[in-house]
Amino acid sequence: MGDKPVIGFIGLGLMGHGMAKNLLQGGYELWVRGRSNRKPVESLLSIGAHEAASPRDMAERCDVIHICLSNSPQIEAVMRAPDGILAAVRAGLVVIDASTADPSSTESLAAELAAVGGHFVDAPLGGTPAQAESGQLSAMVGCDEDVFDRIRPIIDCWASSATRIGPVGSGHKMKLLMNFIGLSYGALFSEVVVLGAKIGISPQTIREVIAPSRMGNGFFETFMSYVVDRNRESHKFTIANAAKDIRYLNNMASEAHVVNIMAAAAKHYYTHAEATGHAADYVPMLSDYVGALNGIDMQEEVRKVA
């Protein structure tokens, strides 16, 4: 890898666009590969990026490839397809998977890439789309120490902090633990505001009391911004991604032979919301669906005291 390796980026969604933009602004030659939404691709092409014809084409051109996709089947397809990355690996190629993925899949892909001379790095993200645009994400990194040292300047373009958790797979394991906390908050806060409404305590009052207390936190703030203010943009993490992450967490617990009652309970809310047509909605909207299960219209509950 030279002083300025050529970078590839696959997956230009809510997080990927900002990350890729910051790599360009860091002075790296960038090749991108999007999906059906052309807007982020065109945005990056307009400021100097190049478009790869396929993941294989990208692997032939790049020294480091980022992947930022929704789930492990998508990542596996990008890696293993006939026109995928593994079809054209050059010795020393580094693949940085910034997705939230199944650690078992990650470890398998890492072994396949290592067998042909490459290095797989799991570097899932902490933060928001706004932080992705400003280069202020955090990264939980799984890889060998020498690989981490080599790629650190690249990660620093889009992350204000990067922590090496351990070997390959450990970054994705850490991210699932983090999301277990957040998604459990989502289920818990949904039950809290619905139960409060049922017994005559408004969402506004709950926010007023909890927010400044020791139980308030950033997740509570953005969650309640939707519940009370009906701000649909406050917490842009989809039900589909939440359901996937909590499913991967439960799978990880099963493989570790761990009793995980809390995670199993949280999973059912997200699975229900996804199964009833709300996959594209965002996590705070879970409160509306928990409300409906209990005969409560949460928007009307807010209007009562507005």
Q: How does DSSP classify residue 86?
A: G
The catalytic residues are 175
Helix residue spans in the chain (DSSP H): 16-25, 38-45, 55-61, 72-80, 103-115, 129-134, 145-155, 170-198, 203-210, 218-229, 239-255, 261-273, 286-293, 298-303
Handedness of CA 290, 296, 299, 302 (dihedral sign): negative
- Which residues pair with residue 50 across a beta bridge? 31
Q: Residue 126: in which H helix or E strand, if any? A: strand 125-126
Helix axis angle for 239-255 and 170-198, nearest 10°, is 120
Q: Are 125 and 138 a contacting pair, CB within 8 Å? A: yes
- What is the rounded CA–CA span in Å between residue 271 and residue 281? 13
Handedness of CA 137, 138, 142, 144 (dihedral sign): positive
Structure tokens at 276: 């009833």
Q: Are 154 and 162 a contacting pair, CB within 8 Å? A: no
Q: Which residue has the tokens 């230009």?
A: 12
- Residues 86/157/123/66 CA torsion (nearest 10 deg): -20
- Which residues pair with residue 141 across a beta bridge? 164
